[in-house]
Amino acid sequence: MSRQPLWLRCEKKEFERRAALTPTTAKKLIDAGFDIYVERDEQRIFDDAEYEAVGCTLVEHNSWPNAPVTTPIIGLKELPESDEPLPHTHIQFAHCYKRQAGWSSVLARFHRGGGTLYDLEFLTDDKGRRVAAFGYHAGFAGAAAGALAYAAQKKGQPLGKLEPYENEAAMVKAVKEQLGGSGKGVKALVIGALGRCGSGAVDLFRKIGLEEENILKWDMAETAKGGPFQEILDVDIFVNCIYLSSPIPHFITYDSIRAAGKERQLSVVVDVSCDTTNPHNPIPIYNVNTTFSNPTVPVEVGAGNPPLSVISIDHLPTLLPREASEQFSSDLLPSLLELPNRQTARVWVTAEELYRQKLAEAVQVEGL
């Protein structure tokens, strides 16, 4: 029986240190009959030698375009913008199924090349739940970034460059230090608190010392009445962790912010969901993704009103790159083990059906 090849590409997004495959999961795939090719990458949290030690074949940095077309390419974040056709099978987060900015041009590359996209966001189990997600670490890191931005704002400063942490304990320690030893007295609201992302945000707030009554945990029941919500304006930090699947009333707006005037308590919004270019974004008070080097963007609040900033970093889990990668890759492993049978394995068949549907829409939009 022939061995299944799989090619781990490097990540080209700035500051992205995570990996879709870790040495741990790569070893398990090799033992199951896979040949794993790993691009050399100094940015990745895992050293090249860690992959080589478990039996992976190291290949040149960013050389996947020259890989055999029959070899699936796995990565995390979207590919750099280009018009080059894509003939390979790609497994990645493509951020193009919800009509985000440039979505149709991304899919047009697959149409022109004859390739296939398996979007990691839409690999689901038989109950429709994602088989692997970075949600917990996204929420955990997002809440930490929000607390850091809050601490900086209280000192009259913008939040500076964010650097990845060695582990969760180091992150918690650093955040508490910036808050003067504890988050006691800080009030936060998490929307989407029952999901993986929201639970991560709640855990971070608990670990840095927020009192339980000062962590407002909202989910669908609390938002059913429809926004905008005054309660968001009455906390220090608001963290949005929802999964947006359809249009919903806005959570907060420029009008609600300005109406609150000087009485507004809200200082920092962390949009972990980061539906920045989604036309149904429920937080329409910003329009750019922020970055680790410039983590916040100021909101236009009206003259004389207290400052408000938004964090909208779309790869927050890379603040905990090793832990987040190990958890995600471990969750993805059972589905990857079915990759040789992707023509019949439900998780892959369903993902390809969705891809074909979105591709048809893109072809129509692009006039191809």
Residue 196 labelled as part of a binding site:
yes
The first and second tokens of residue 310, run together, are 């938004």
The first and second tokens of residue 328, run together, are 């995600």
What is the C-alpha to C-alpha distance for residues 83 and 110, in angstroms, rounded to an integer? 10
What phi and psi, each to the nearest 5 degrees, are found at residue 7?
-115, 115
Residue 223 labelled as part of a binding site:
yes
CA quadruple 323, 328, 334, 340: dihedral sign: negative
Residue 313 labelled as part of a binding site:
yes
Residue 129 labelled as part of a binding site:
yes
**Neighbouring C-beta atoms of residue 152, cutoff 10 Å:** 19
Which residue intervals of 188-320 are DSSP H helices?
196-207, 220-223, 230-233, 254-260
Q: Which of 95, 207, 217, 250 is catalytic?
A: 95
Sheet with strand 237-240: strands edge to edge: 215-218, 188-191, 237-240, 268-271, 309-311, 297-298
Residue 272 labelled as part of a binding site:
yes
Residue 315 labelled as part of a binding site:
yes
What is the C-alpha to C-alpha distance for residues 138 and 316, in angstroms, rounded to an integer? 5
Q: Which of 13, 28, 77, 137 is catalytic?
A: 77
Residue 219 labelled as part of a binding site:
yes
If DSSP codes are grouped into helix, strand and coil, which group holds residue 342? coil
Which residue intervals of the chain are DSSP H helices?
23-31, 48-53, 103-113, 135-154, 168-178, 196-207, 220-223, 230-233, 254-260, 321-336, 346-366
Residue 243 labelled as part of a binding site:
yes
Residue 61 appears among annotated catalytic residues:
no
Residue 95 appears among annotated catalytic residues:
yes
Look at strands 116-119 and 188-191 and give their pairing: unpaired
**Annotated binding site: which residue ranges?**
129, 195-196, 219, 223, 243, 272, 313-316
Annotated binding-site ranges for NAD(+): 129, 195-196, 219, 223, 243, 272, 313-316
Residue numbers annotated as active site: 77, 95
